[in-house]
Structure 1
Amino acid sequence: MGRRNFLIEGSSGSGKTSVCEELVRRGYHAIHGDRELAYQGDPNTGEEVVTSGLEVHHHQIWHLGKVSALIQDRREEMTFFCGGSRNLKKFVDLFDAAFVLDVDVETLTRRLDARADDEWGGRGRHTERDLILRLHRTKEDMPRQSILIDATAPLTEVVDEILKRSRAAGAADR
């Protein structure tokens, strides 16, 4: 929905939802990809699947048609797509830039500890936590061409940095 479209990615617990909410609070157009675009599907074919346990993570994908339609709609100056998707490789090139929220393992663990029991990676969900920590360590789910953002900083500073770099990416294209 923007003339400039940006992806905000990061491991579970890196702050994607908080960044999205702060962008909206500031009046920017931001999409909660995990809420508005995601479904359980095969990352290669897009076919819906029924999942449970850790399969939920491996099959969380975004609707390609919805992503494409939102990017083609140029009513907004900038749109931020926030969240994680296992079919990222199928649409990451549509974005003007991808930001990856980066946190250290101590910050990540503290944020996961603050989650409720029924949240992904929350207290007592050890198998999910192990996956989150492995993915954090290996970065295997992250886009290769991306701009790292230190997400251990206060939320307002994280969003300020994303906005500064978004504007710079737009100015470089002019």
Structure 2
Amino acid sequence: MGRKNYLIEGGSGTGKTAVCNELRRRGYHAINGDRELAYQGDPETGEPVGGITGVAVHGHHLWRVDQVRALAADQRDAVTFFCGGSRNLAKFIDLFDGVFVLEVDLETLKQRLDQRPEDEWGGRQTERELIEHLH
């Protein structure tokens, strides 16, 4: 929804949601892609896939490409920030004027994951292990 569109990307626990919330607090148009655009699907075809659980969720975490394209095309706002990560990023990376990749040290990552509830990605031990391995 911006004349300029930016992606805030990074691994799990790097602060994408915190940045999105802060951008919104400051009056910017910011979309939490992990909560507003995401679904579980086949990374090749984009077709929704049901029954994905555990660490397999990571590999099937996609954004709805048609929604991303529609939001990026709407130019009512001067700038829009898309915050989050997806396995199908290659299908819409061309829409962004810039990409910011967030990084965090392992100690801070572990502290952030310690604060996550079990029903949120990274809250279970097997998910934490994958996140730390990918870090």
Aligned twin of 2:104: 103
Residue type at the aligned position of 1:24: R
After TM superposition, give the deviation of residue 118 of structure 1 in Å.
2.3
Aligned twin of 1:62: 63
Coordinate RMSD, CA, aligned = 0.9
SS in 2 for 1:81: strand
Aligned twin of 1:15: 15
Percentage of matched positions with identical amino acids: 67
Residue type at the aligned position of 1:48: P
Max Rg structure: 1
Q: Tell me the distance in 2 between the aligned counterparts of 1:104 and 1:30.
A: 25
SS in 1 for 2:24: helix
SS in 2 for 1:74: coil
TM-score (norm 2): 0.95
Q: Tell me the distance in 2 between the aligned counterparts of 1:24 and 1:114.
A: 22
String of CA shifts for 1:42-89, please: whole Å, max 9, x gaps.
111110001111111111100110000111111100000001101011
Q: Tell me the distance in 1 between the aligned counterparts of 2:9 and 2:90.
A: 13
Q: Tell me the distance in 2 between the aligned counterparts of 1:21 and 1:15.
A: 10
Q: Tell me the distance in 1 between the aligned counterparts of 2:48 and 2:120.
A: 22
Q: Tell me the distance in 1 between the aligned counterparts of 2:111 and 2:87.
A: 25
Q: Tell me the distance in 2 between the aligned counterparts of 1:66 and 1:118.
A: 26
String of CA shifts for 1:149-173, please: whole Å, max 9, x gaps.
xxxxxxxxxxxxxxxxxxxxxxxxx
Aligned twin of 1:127: 126
After TM superposition, give the deviation of residue 127 of structure 1 in Å.
1.2
Q: Tell me the distance in 1 between the aligned counterparts of 2:125 and 2:35.
A: 24
Runs of at least 5 residues in structure 2 that lack an aligned partner in the other structure:
none
SS in 2 for 1:44: coil
After TM superposition, give the deviation of residue 130 of structure 1 in Å.
1.2
What count of residue pairs does the alignment treat as equivalent? 134
Runs of at least 5 residues in structure 1 that lack an aligned partner in the other structure:
137-174
Aligned twin of 1:86: 87
